[in-house]
Amino acid sequence: MRFYNSMQKNMSFADVVASIKYFIKANPDCHYRIAVGTDSQVKGGFTCFATGIHVHRIGQGAWCCVTKVVENKRYKNISEKISRETLMTYELVYKLNEELMEALYDFSANYKNFDCKLEAHIDIGIKGETRTLIREMVSYFEGIGIDAKIKPDSFVASSYANRYSKKFKVG
């Protein structure tokens, strides 16, 4: 899995973790929100999944990146597609939580104002056909103690990742 943003290309997961730590270390006496979300687009017989990571220094900017996976499968069933998006988000949130836990604890112990919340952004909401999936998808994250946000609060999935999921070539 390779990540990129407007300034950095071909980042490994280790590079992403190092960039997040560097971003926080630049101003550790702040409040942070790290959010992960996935969106997908179907084109022909392919589905492109884009997963975004957004690190927001509340009131003072953000650092973000995205990774894309194109599957040779056309997801026709909305439940299956949303489940796949949610699983991709879950896997990345879980890995980030594991890799960042010690560093975030150290920042918390050393900086009085430091606060960091990890969130999962799911591309579902109370309007439309995805509303029936809310309880099931949110429960994935409750089990590991991660806040799950749905539309209109799930901007990493519904806006950031959405922008990148639309940009892919078939074949």
Does residue 58 lie within any of the structural domains?
yes
Q: Which domain range does residue 33 map to? A: 13-165
Does residue 8 lie within any of the structural domains?
no
| Residue-level pLDDT at 2 | 97
Predicted model pTM: 0.95
The number of domains in the chain is 1
Band of residue 15 on the pLDDT scale cut at 50, 70, 90: very high
Mean pLDDT of 59-87: 96
Does residue 171 lie within any of the structural domains?
no
For residue 78, is pLDDT > 80?
A: yes
Does residue 1 lie within any of the structural domains?
no
Does residue 78 lie within any of the structural domains?
yes
Mean pLDDT of 49-65: 97
Q: Which long-range contacts (CB under 8 A, 24 or more apart) does 88-93 make?
A: 88/38, 88/49, 88/51, 89/36, 89/37, 89/38, 89/51, 89/120, 89/121, 89/122, 89/157, 90/120, 90/140, 90/141, 92/36, 92/51, 92/53, 93/36, 93/118, 93/120, 93/141, 93/144, 93/146
| Residue-level pLDDT at 19 | 98
Does residue 7 lie within any of the structural domains?
no
Mean pLDDT of 68-81: 95
| Residue-level pLDDT at 171 | 58
